Chain A
Amino acid sequence: GAGVSQSPSNKVTEKGKDVELRCDPISGHTALYWYRQSLGQGLEFLIYFQGNSAPDKSGLPSDRFSAERTGGSVSTLTIQRTQQEDSAVYLCASSGQGVYNEQFFGPGTRLTVL
């Protein structure tokens, strides 16, 4: 596709359940980022993948959060034992080679934990 896609667009889950969020980056983009947008916290960086290098996980808020990127393309963000404070919009972005590359964002997944 032409842009970054994310699925599902909305997810409602019960506290304590695990959820998986998916991101399809722009074809050919080597870098992939996950961010979280929540009320009161703004936009927070979660994790960054670049090619085959080890991911930068410095933004993950707890060990309940993990992410994978298979084959250098699709990424899945997993939240285990969800808590109400995990409710937010989860945004994925990708960018190409180079130092100052623009990050292209997907439409996000709105997660609501009841």
Chain B
Amino acid sequence: GDSVTQMEGPVTLSEEAFLTINCTYTATGYPSLFWYVQYPGEGLQLLLKATKADDKGSNKGFEATYRKETTSFHLEKGSVQVSDSAVYFCALSDVQTGANNLFFGTGTRLTVIP
């Protein structure tokens, strides 16, 4: 079945440090891949997405590239800010197999300290 495995954390970084959160997936079909973010006290928001192999999703300085050969979608940011402190979820949607729901990883809590 479809599943997502992501780095558990928590991750604590100093401001302006480089961020990588690893995410790998297992899917029956050809999934779309997503990163969602949950800021403190707020709901889940889509951060970025990629719908096919080699696509790169980007938003707010974050990037992730859909790597079919390694079944990965790692999240990166070159210079984190305190405002990036949040929980990050990797997710997939495998609509080609008829599954419209999202499969989520367990989430990675990021804390950025000044």
Contacts and interface: CB of A to CB of B under 8 A. Distances in A.
Contacts, number: 50
Q: How large is the interface on A (under 10, 10 to 19, 20 to 34, 35 or more residues)?
A: 20 to 34
A49 B68 CA distance: 30
Contact of B43 (A31, A33, A91): A91
A102 B49 CA distance: 9
Contacts of A100: 32, 49, 51, 93, 95
A42 B101 contact: no
B87 to A, nearest CB: 10
A45 B102 CA distance: 7
Interface string A74-107: 0000000000000000010100000110111111
B22 interface: no
A65 interface: no
B107 A103 contact: no
Interface of B: 32, 36, 42-46, 49, 51, 89, 91, 93, 95, 100-107
Given A42-B104, A43-B102, 14 more contacts: A31-B100, A33-B100, A33-B102, A35-B102, A42-B106, A45-B102, A45-B103, A56-B101, A91-B43, A100-B32, A100-B51, A103-B102, A104-B46, A105-B43
